[in-house]
Amino acid sequence: MAPEYEILNPETVPAYIARTDGLKDVVDTSTLEVSEVGDGNLNLVFVCKDGNGNGICLKQSLPYVRLVGEDWPLTPERVVAEARGLKAAVDHVPDLVPAYYGLDKENYVLAMENLMGWDMWRIQLNLGKMHPGVGAKLGRYVAALAFYTSFFSIDQGEIKERLAEAINPELCKITEDLVFTEPYIDVENNSYVDELIPEIEGMRADARLRAEVGMLKYKFMTAGEALIHGDLHTGSVMVRNGDNGGECKVIDPEFCYYGPVGFDLGALFGNYMAARARAAVLNRPEEYQQWLADIGPETWDSFESEMRRLWPERLDKTWTESFLDAWLAQVAKDTIGYGGCKANRRIIGLAKVTDIQELPHEEHVKAATMVLRTASTWIRERDELATVAKANDVFNEVRAEVLG
Amino acid sequence: MAPEYEILNPETVPAYIARTDGLKDVVDTSTLEVSEVGDGNLNLVFVCKDGNGNGICLKQSLPYVRLVGEDWPLTPERVVAEARGLKAAVDHVPDLVPAYYGLDKENYVLAMENLMGWDMWRIQLNLGKMHPGVGAKLGRYVAALAFYTSFFSIDQGEIKERLAEAINPELCKITEDLVFTEPYIDVENNSYVDELIPEIEGMRADARLRAEVGMLKYKFMTAGEALIHGDLHTGSVMVRNGDNGGECKVIDPEFCYYGPVGFDLGALFGNYMAARARAAVLNRPEEYQQWLADIGPETWDSFESEMRRLWPERLDKTWTESFLDAWLAQVAKDTIGYGGCKANRRIIGLAKVTDIQELPHEEHVKAATMVLRTASTWIRERDELATVAKANDVFNEVRAEVLG
C-alpha cells in the first residue's frame, strides 16, 4: 500500500510550489517557511508563509488513514472530493471558504488559502469565546450548497451526471459506520465511562430509537439531494474577529457527496449541543450560554431565509412556494434527527469531541448524559418536534433534569 | 437526427438474427415469420416465430420518440436501461419476466423471449377478466428488485457505482414532467372533458396538494433506494392462464433507474384504481369488483411478506427488524402518494389509459371524477392513511359519493 505518487514533506514543498502553475505566483518560494500541521486524522497539511507575509496551504491525501496507518487503506481520491466541495462553495459563498488555488490529481494535492490568524471554532467554543453571527453564516453556507448544487438551479440531466461523478463511497462508509451503526452496538471502536452504561444500554435496547437511526442512515445512503459538506462539525469551521461581527470559513469538505441537506445542518446542531452541555456543566456566564442556545435557531433562520431569498431564481418555476414550505419542514425534521445522531456518536463512538471529552470526570458524566438524552429524544421524536425551537426546548428540559 | 446505426425491419430481422451470437440458435431463421408490433410510443418491436414454433422478440430503440418522430429526440441508450432492468429481474424472479437473450449495444437491440399467447393485463382488466394471483406475483417482483439491487444485499460501495451507472435522466424527465408537473398546470399536453374542469381547477388551486405532489416528485428525483422498473402500469404486465392461477410477466423496464421503491408499487396502485373505477361505472359483477378491490392489499401483502422472508439474508445484520418495520411503513406511504400521482396523470395528462378513456361519455366522467378525487386524497393524506387498506377505503367512499 505504499503510495505510488510523491509524498510531500516540508523540505520538498517549496520546490513543488515553484514548479506548479497556479501556485508559484501566490508565494515567494525562496523565502518560504513550511510546517506540517495535519492534526486531523487523515491527511498531510502544509502551512506555508513567505517573507512578504503571503501564504498558501497544501493538503495532500495519503492512500490510508493517517491516524491508523497503512492498515486502514483509504482512497486518496478524497482530496478530489474535497476540491469539488470547496469549488462549489467558492463559486457562491466565497467569503465563507478558503480561496481555491488548484488541484493536482496526480499527487493528490489541493492548494488553497492559508488561514493564518484564524482559529478552529470548537476550540474557541471550548474556551467560552463568542463569535456572534457565525451561526447565521453557516446557515447561508448550507443554503448556498443546497440551492446551487441541486436541480433547484441546475438542469436535471446535468445534476444526475454530477451526482454520479461525486459518489464518495469510502468516505460515506466511515460516516455510516461511525455515526449510524457503531454507537448502537457493542464494538471495539466505542468507549465511554462506566456511569454512561445504563443510558447507552437503554438506547441499544430501544427498538424505536434503533429504527429511527436506521431510517436516518437509510436516507443518508439513498437521498441525493445536493452536494453536501458531509462533515460539518465545529472543528470544520475556522473563525476570527469574534468581538467585531464574527467571521468564519468552512474547511475540510472531503466527505462531500450528493446527500440529504439536513445532514450538514444536523452536524452543526449535534455539535452545538455538545458545546451547550459543556457550557452548562462549567456554569459559563448566562450571556454566553444564551448566545450558544440561540445559535441553532440563528443557523436555521439564516438557512431558511437564504433559501427563500434564492427561491425566485429557481430554474423550474413549476416548483411552488407551498413545496418550498413542505421541503423546509422536512429538512428541519432531518436536521433534528441528524443532530441527534451526530451528538450521540461523539459521546459513544470512535471520534470524540474535546468539548465533552476534556471535562473533569463529574462534569463529563453530566454533560455526556445531557447529550445522550437530548440526542435520543431528537432522533425518536423529530417528526413531532418539527422545529429547531422545540428541539432546543428538549435540551433545556434535559439540562434541568441532569443538573437538578 | 437520423440514426447512425442499422434500423431493423421485418425483412432484415432474419439475417440479423442469423449473424448474431446468442440469437441464431434460439430460432430457425430459414423459416422465420417476423412482424413489427410496436404499439407503444417509443420503439420498434419485432415478434418472430419459426416453423418449429420457437420464438424470439427483438426490441430496437430509435434516437427519437416513435409516436412523435424526429422532433422529439430521445436517447437510444434506453434499451440499455431496459436490458439492465430485465437482467436484474431475470437473476431473482425469472418466472416473472421474459427470458433474456442478449443486448446489442451498437444497434440498440434487446433480444428476449417472445411472449406468444400472453395478453396485456390492462386489456384483460378492461374486458372484466380475472387473473387471480397476479397482484401477489407483482408484489414479489417489486420486493425482489428492492432487496437484490439495493445495499440490503449488495456491498455499499458497489451500490454507489451501480447507481451512478444506471442514471437515466432523459427517461426520468418524461416521468417528472408527465406524472408530477403537467397535470397540475395548464399545458398543451393535457386534455380532458369539460365536466372535469372544476375538479381539476380545484386541484391546481390546492396549495397543500401541489406541495405534496412536489415532495413526491422531489423524492422521485433524489431517492436512489433500489433499481426500480419505473413504469410499472398494467400495460407493462403480460398475463395468461387466468382460470388456472394467473401467471404474469413484467415487461418494458426502460425507465428503470435507482429510485424510490414505493414508486413501482404506486404505479400499480394508480392503475388498479383506474380499473376499479371502470368496473364500478360499468357495474361489473360483484365478484369481479371484489377481486379488483383486493388486488391492492394482495400486492402489498405479498411485497411485505417477501421483504420479511428475504430480510434474514440481508448483507449487514446491524439493520434491525424494527428498521424494516419503519421502512415498510414509509414505503406504504410512498405507495399511496405515488398511486395518487399515477392515477391523476392518466386522467389529465398526455398518456391516457383505455380503462377510463374508452368508456361512454357519462361513465367516463363518473369514473374520471372517482379517480381524481381518490387520487388527490391519497396524495394529500398519505401519511395519515398510512396503510393500503385505508387507501382502499377512500376509493369506496368516493365511489359511493359519485355513483350516489
Closest chain B C-alpha to A290 CA, distance in angstroms: 36
Rounded Cα–Cα distance for residues A346 and B50 (Å): 68
Residue B19: partners with Cβ closer than 8 Å, 6 or more residues away: none
Of residues B210, B211, B223, nearest to A222 (C-beta):
B223
Q: Would you call B318 an interface residue with chain A, using a CB distance cutoff of 8 Å?
A: yes
Among chain A residues, the shortest Cα distance to B187 is held by A318
Answer whether B318 sits within 8 Å of A185, measured CB to CB. Answer: yes
Closest chain A C-alpha to B257 CA, distance in angstroms: 11
C-alpha dihedral, A87 to A91 to A92 to A97, nearest 10°: 50
CB B264 within 8 A of CB B179: no
In Å, how far from its chain's centre is CA A160?
24
Answer whether B160 sits within 8 Å of A167, measured CB to CB. Answer: yes
Q: Are strands A69-73 and A64-65 parallel, antiparallel or unpaired?
A: antiparallel
Among chain B residues, the shortest Cα distance to A326 is held by B211
Q: Would you call B330 an interface residue with chain A, using a CB distance cutoff of 8 Å?
A: yes
CB A178 within 8 A of CB A217: no
pLDDT of residue B322: 98
Answer whether B322 sits within 8 Å of A176, measured CB to CB. Answer: no
Question: Exposed/middle/buried for A154, CB within 10 Å: 0-12, 13-18, 19+?
Answer: middle
Rounded Cα–Cα distance for residues A235 and B88 (Å): 43
Q: Which residues of chain B have pLDDT under 70?
A: 1-2, 39-41
Answer whether B157 sits within 8 Å of A173, measured CB to CB. Answer: yes
A window 221-260, beta carbon within 8 A of B: 221-225
* Interface test mutation site (partner A, options B318, B319, B380, max chain A beta carbons within 10 A): B318
pLDDT of residue A1: 52
Residue B291: partners with Cβ closer than 8 Å, 6 or more residues away: B130, B132
Q: What is the pLDDT of residues A103-158, one digit of tens each?
A: 999 999 999 999 989 999 999 999 999 999 999 999 999 999 999 999 999 999 99
pLDDT of residue B207: 97
* Interface test mutation site (partner A, options B215, B218, B341, max chain A beta carbons within 10 A): B218
Closest chain A C-alpha to B364 CA, distance in angstroms: 29
A340-371 per-residue burial string, b: 16 or more CB within 10 A, e: under 16: bbbbbbbbbbbebbbbbeebeeebbbbbbbbb
Please provide the distance, in angstroms rounded to a whole number, between the alpha carbons at the two ends of chain A. Answer: 54
Answer whether A211 sits within 8 Å of B322, measured CB to CB. Answer: yes
CA diameter of chain B: 63
Among chain A residues, the shortest Cα distance to B380 is held by A326
Element (H, E) at B163: helix B156-165
Helices (H) and strands (E) in chain B, counts: 15, 12
> Angle at Cα A337 formed by Cα A265 and Cα B212, nearest 5°?
85
Element (H, E) at B112: strand B109-112
pLDDT of residue A39: 67
- The full 3-state SS of chain A, as one line of letters, equals CCCCCCCCCCCCHHHHHHCCCCCCCCCCHHHCEEEECCCCCCEEEEEEECCCCCEEEEEEECCEECCCEEEEECCCCHHHHHHHHHHHHHHHCHHHCCCEEEEECCCCEEEECCCCCCEEHHHHHHCCCCCCCHHHHHHHHHHHHHHHCCCCCCCHHHHHHHHHHCCCHHHHHHHHHHHHHHHHCCCCCCCCCHHHHHHHHHHHCCHHHHHHHHHHHHHHHHECCEEECCCCCHHHEEEECHHHCCEEEECCHHHCEEECHHHHHHHHHHHHHHHHHHHHHCCCCHHHHHHHHHHHHHHHHHHHHHHHHHHHHCCCCCCCHHHHHHHHHHHHHHHHHHHHHHHHHHHHCCCCCHHHHCCCHHHHHHHHHHHHHHHHHHHHCHHHHCCHHHHHHHHHHHHHHHHC
Rounded Cα–Cα distance for residues A127 and A129 (Å): 6
Q: Which of B58, B59, B64 is nearest to B76 (CA)?
A: B64
Interface contacts (A, B; CB < 8 Å): 105
CB atoms within 10 A of CB B239: 24
Cell of B149: 439491487
Cell of B252: 418494458
B33 in helix, strand or coil?
A: strand
Q: How many CA atoms lie within 13 A of A329 on its CB side?
A: 13
Answer whether A176 sits within 8 Å of B156, measured CB to CB. Answer: yes
CB B228 within 8 A of CB B384: no
Closest chain B C-alpha to A99 CA, distance in angstroms: 30
Among chain A residues, the shortest Cα distance to B206 is held by A322
CA distances to A298, B267, B394 from B130, rounded to whole Å, are 60, 19, 23
Q: Would you call A208 an interface residue with chain B, using a CB distance cutoff of 8 Å?
A: yes
In which order are the strands placed within the sheet that holds B109-112?
B33-36, B43-49, B55-61, B109-112, B100-104
Q: Would you call B186 an interface residue with chain A, using a CB distance cutoff of 8 Å?
A: no
Q: What is the pLDDT of residues B163-193, one digit of tens each?
A: 999 999 999 999 999 999 999 999 999 999 9
pLDDT of residue B243: 81
Residue A95: partners with Cβ closer than 8 Å, 6 or more residues away: A247
How would you classify residue A386: left for phi > 0, otherwise alpha for psi between -120 and 50, otherwise beta? left
Q: What is the pLDDT of residues A192-237, one digit of tens each?
A: 999 999 999 999 999 999 999 999 999 999 999 999 999 999 999 9
**Would you place residue A2 in the very low, low, confident or very high pLDDT band (cuts 50, 70, 90)?**
low
pLDDT of residue A364: 98
Rounded Cα–Cα distance for residues B305 and B324 (Å): 11
Question: What's this model's pTM, rounded to 2 decimal places?
Answer: 0.97
Q: Which amino acid is at A90?
A: V
Answer whether A167 sits within 8 Å of B170, measured CB to CB. Answer: no
Residue A266 reports pLDDT greater than 80 = yes
Residue B78: partners with Cβ closer than 8 Å, 6 or more residues away: B42, B61, B168, B170, B171, B254, B255
CB atoms within 10 A of CB B18: 14
Of residues A160, A218, A319, nearest to B169 (C-beta):
A160
CA distances to A342, A382, B176, B209, B262 from B381, rounded to whole Å, are 32, 20, 21, 9, 16
| A163 contacts in chain B (CB < 8 Å) | 164, 167
Rounded Cα–Cα distance for residues B400 and B404 (Å): 6
Q: Which of B168, B203, B167, B170 is nearest to B349 (CA)?
A: B203
Cell of A396: 433545556
CA distances to B368, B391, B393, B404 from B397, rounded to whole Å, are 15, 10, 6, 10
**Would you place residue A40 in the very low, low, confident or very high pLDDT band (cuts 50, 70, 90)?**
low
